[in-house]
Amino acid sequence: MAHRFVNQIGPGEAVEGIYLIKEPVLRSTVKGDPYIAMFICDRTGQINGRMWQASQEVYLSLPKPGFVAIQGRSELYQNSLQIVVNSIKPVDPSQIRMEDYLASTTKDIKAMFSQVQQILSRIKHPQIRALVDHFLADTQLMESFCKSPAAVKIHHDYLGGLLEHTHNMLQVAEAILPFYPELQHDLVIAGIFLHDMGKTEELSCQSAFSYTDSGQLIGHIVKTVLMIHAKADQARCAGLQIDQEVLDMLDHIVLAHHGAYEFGSPKLPATAEAFMVSYIDQLDARISQVNAATSGDFDGNWTAWQNSLQTRLYRRRIQ
């Protein structure tokens, strides 16, 4: 049976199928009867869900988040659509098409990764190239790199988002580096490729976009530095020593790419290459946020307040 997307559900309809649930909570009505509140989701959106006369046993059986088969009915409550769930049962994630439930890049993943490889192939510095090649040779890591989101929310928060973000940044760098011949091209390109690599371990997209325990404890910036040194050790075992100065320069780009302490950057940019990577990163992330915020339906020419951007956005094309 084809999946029925959330945005296809109207009021007063029977609802049956597999959906992603988020944030299930066991609550009590004013009469003291237990019920479960949750969000019922797929890649097209989410709807409030309620299961009345629920039990703690049912609640404890639910993934948090995860996939469930539900039967119920949609209704309007205070002018908002909700689904009243009559039955709910956990579903093995291997039985579902992840692309139906989690937002995905609209771009061609194979084409983007091929272009990333082409850009990286132009790195001439032997030690930097060897380090990058050890990352590219890690098939499992590259599969995660191509699949992972760039964030849980804010920007490029969809399957393939990390690859798309990195691909965009590399293309921007290739376009503007000729105007700055004094910069070390290979450091910028390698720094962009590596700057968010730790997100492959920081973020999980097994059932919903979330942080791993390790990601919460350590974070992608530190994880990336650790990955760089692990690959440098592999290169050394293969007979090529990566100079400490090279590692220091790449580490600094990673540690400084958020650009400011308040944005979680352990270091402020102190090299031209680190500044360039940081600014390109901010550019691509901000444009992604603006595009996402202005692509939805809303009344008038202005969006609602965008907290992450600290502004409302104006959307009107010049005719």
Residue with token string 């944005």: 263
Helix (H) or strand (E) holding 80: strand 80-90
Q: Measured between alpha carbons, how far is 163 from 150 in angstroms, rounded to an integer?
A: 8
Q: Model's pTM, two decimal places?
A: 0.80
H-helix segments, the chain: 56-61, 98-101, 109-120, 126-136, 139-147, 161-176, 185-194, 199-202, 213-218, 220-237, 244-256, 272-294
Helix (H) or strand (E) holding 39: strand 34-42
Give the pLDDT band of residue 51 (cuts 50, 70, 90).
very high
pLDDT tens per residue, range 165-204: 999 999 999 999 999 999 999 999 999 999 999 999 998 8
Which of 21-25, 82-86, 161-165 bottoms out in mean pLDDT, i.e. has the lowest?
21-25
Residue with token string 């650009």: 259
Q: What is the residue type of 120?
A: L
Q: Measured between alpha carbons, how far is 232 from 248 in angstroms, rounded to an integer?
A: 12
Q: Measured between alpha carbons, how far is 93 from 144 in angstroms, rounded to an integer?
A: 17
66's CB contacts (< 8 A; 6+ apart) are 20, 21, 90, 91, 93, 207, 208
Question: What are the boundaries of each domain within the chain?
Answer: 6-95, 102-294
**Is the pLDDT at 207 greater than 90, yes or no?**
no
Average pLDDT, stretch 6-25? Answer: 92
Question: How buried is residue 131: exposed, middle or buried, by Cβ count under 10 Å (0-12/13-18/19+)?
Answer: buried
Name the more confident of 304 and 314. 314
| CATH of span 6-95 | 2.40.50.140
- ∠ CA(242), CA(224), CA(261), 5° rounding? 115
Give, as one character, the DSSP assignment of residue 3: P
**Is the pLDDT at 318 greater than 90, yes or no?**
no
